Amino acid sequence: MPQYNPHMLNIVPIPKDKAHLYAVGGRIKEGKLVPMSLQGAKECKKAQVDGLFERTALDLHNENVG
């Protein structure tokens, strides 16, 4: 893990109605978190839904097939 100097970090609140536009590990520009594009937000949400579906399908498979 890289080590960070606390003075290098700029922690700012994200407005609740805009939280879906930000992601951990998102792009940083001039020390500020850059909001995702609408397309990026859609792709991120789709990946979350796909992951949940795959996990649920695997759980059901393991439960019923073994």
pTM recorded for the entire structure: 0.50
Give the tens place of pLDDT for each residue, 10-40.
Answer: 777 878 787 767 766 677 788 777 888 888 8
pLDDT band for position 44 (cuts 50, 70, 90)? confident
- For residue 35, being part of any structural domain is answered with yes
Domain with 41 in it: 6-64
Q: Would you state the pLDDT for residue 58?
A: 95
Q: Would you state the pLDDT for residue 9?
A: 74
Tell me 57's DSSP state.
Answer: H
- For residue 1, being part of any structural domain is answered with no
The total number of structural domains that make up the chain: 1
Angle at 47 between CA 21 and CA 23, to 5 degrees: 30
- For residue 28, being part of any structural domain is answered with yes
- For residue 25, being part of any structural domain is answered with yes
More confident residue, 20 or 61: 61
